[in-house]
Chain A
Amino acid sequence: MSVLVSDLTFSYGRRRVLDDVSFEARGGELLCVLGPNGVGKSTLFGCVLGLLAPLGGEVLIDGAPVGKIPTRELARKLAFVPQSHAPTFNYSVFDMVLMGTTARVGGISSPGAEQMRAAADSIERVGISHLTGRGYMRISGGERQLTLIARALAQQADVIIMDEPTANLDYGNQLRVLKCVKDLVRKGLTVIQSTHSPDHAFIFADRVLALHGGRVTAFGEPAAVISEELISALYGVRVLIRPGENGVPRCEPII
């Protein structure tokens, strides 16, 4: 399973959001897309997921252009985890996860025993079995995010795309969600996720794609790519990058 993006260009009206973006996500890696607010991370994901039609360039999923893959077939290859949200109706965590199996059942049927098992498996894999019967609206933001990840797992796609899975989460929940994602990647899943935080990229990412002004400014392993200059260019703030005690570098802001 591979996701290949080549020379992707996208614009809203006259405003160019993505400009010649190219990269490849390899199977079994965690790719972090790093960049400031409004740089086009969500737009990039929209293009990869086939939700937005690019102006130029293409997205190839296993060699096939994403726009040519039927919706249901695409859902079996790519799953999407949005930022945690409040839906209109309060579904149980189990039902929410079960919805992920929809692409696996025929045009008009409801999920059956096999899908129920897949949903229960996914819930176990992210470690929220105790929440199974709870209402999605009555659990915490971190728990919701884990539920959405379980839903993506129930979809049984090889690649999961996560739009800032740690946005709006407290410190503990951020780390719990990221650790869960990292564990899934170790077991063979491919994850492309966006983040604001270079520290998260240092700790969890296999490779980093840095976006600035709609262009790719850096692409490679975190330790090789994330530099003091890059952070200053992306976010307009100065940091010192220090080697951490466990071998993982970390950013220290200069205030």
Chain B
Amino acid sequence: MTRARAEQEERGSGGSRRFTAVVICLFALVVFGILASLAIGRYPISPEQILLALRERFIDAVRTAAGGVFGAQFPQVERSGLLTDQMRAIFFNARLPRVLMACMVGCCLSAAGASYQGVFRNPMASPDILGASSGAAVGAALAILLELDARMVMLFAFTASLLTIALVMLVSGTARGNKLLRIVLAGIMISSLCNAGTSFIKLVADPNDILPEITYWLMGSLAKTRPENLAFVAAPMAVGLAPLILLRWRINILTLSDEEARTMGVNVGLVRVAVIVCATLVTAASVSVSGLIGWVGLVVPHLARKLVGNNYRHLMPASMLVGALFLLVVDNISRNLLLTEIPLGILTAVVGAPFFIWLITRKKESI
């Protein structure tokens, strides 16, 4: 009897043991992927050199911290002869930030996509559904048109993305009819306005230098990731992801009807707005540094659903890990396949679209 019950609970909860196994595997793959990606590149850095460089930095950081606490100066760690200054510069200023950023952006876009799919009860929802990307695009295009520096482009994109969603929520709040439908409709309207704005900026931009830069931004890339970008997006990403993780069980209940959710004790309006705001925050932070990268937020949650089921308690962490791994791999292809960088947006579409077709045409498993 007790054994039957334990079995029943195990089987019923979508396989908690299976989930644990999947998460451990994914986590190991992400860690391995990060280490491997650090070694891959036009400028070869061996795994040994990577570990040496990381060790140097770590000991330096500890010493500086200890120095701050004890008010004493510790001598610098001895520099290994295996590393050159150029190697250090490439490793710490370009490769490491880029690899970490690929994981963070992949993780955020997937978490946002999974959240939007639940909140809007629509398996085809993606992070662009409300126009977060279109908003970011018009902001970035404007900053590039005004010939502002890279930091300002990021800041403009981030702010414009958030403003767009704020506008969408404001418009949908005053519109009448079905709540979910009017949020989505307001999103479609306002993102189409944003697209018009972007097109206009491209029209007036100098076709010799400004226009290509805008076009390149719109195709998405992590090539220009620097440590300061990482520092800029880390906070909004953390602030957005934490509530999504904490509220993940409740997203399940939002996928039912509003009436059901309320009679089950969930404050539907509040949880929904919280999830939308957080998902938008991480999307805005992601696209502000990466440009437009489609497909990740749509395909990855579906892959995660195949792995661990639809229960958001398992789906959310699984989506985040799969997303990190997916974009890491795609970014490696982007920077290593050809002599010139291939924009990420193109690659994610090339990988994502056939993959999605495979997902939806595959024979359904019957549970």
Contacts and interface: CB of A to CB of B under 8 A. Distances in A.
Interface string B259-277: 1101111110000000000
A249 interface: no
A133 B263 contact: no
B259 A51 contact: yes
Interface residues of B, number: 36
B12 A78 contact: no
A102 B260 contact: no
Contacts of A94: 8-9, 11-14
Interface in B199-248: 246-248
Given A88-B255, A108-B247, A134-B367, A71 B12 contact: no
Contacts of B266: 71-72, 102-103
Interface core residue of B5, B11, B118, B265 (most chain A CB under 10 Å): B265
A224 B25 CA distance: 67
A50 B265 CA distance: 11
Interface string B162-185: 000000000000000000000000
Contacts of A134: 367
Nearest to B118: A89
Contact of A99 (B121, B246, B253, B267): B253
Contacts of A79: 263-264
B17 to A, nearest CB: 13
Interface in A54-80: 71-76, 78-80
Nearest to B309: A92
Nearest to A50: B262
Given A102-B253, A108-B247, A92 B264 contact: no
A82 B260 contact: yes
A181 interface: no
B8 A129 contact: yes
Interface of A: 46, 49-51, 71-76, 78-80, 82, 85, 87-95, 98-100, 102-103, 105, 108-111, 116-117, 119-120, 123, 129, 132-135, 138, 155
Interface of B: 5, 8-9, 11-14, 118, 121-123, 246-250, 252-253, 255-257, 259-260, 262-267, 305, 309-311, 313, 366-367
Given A95-B14, A102-B264, A103-B264, 17 more contacts: A50-B262, A71-B262, A71-B266, A75-B264, A75-B265, A78-B263, A80-B263, A87-B255, A89-B118, A91-B311, A92-B311, A94-B9, A95-B309, A103-B266, A105-B249, A116-B13, A120-B8
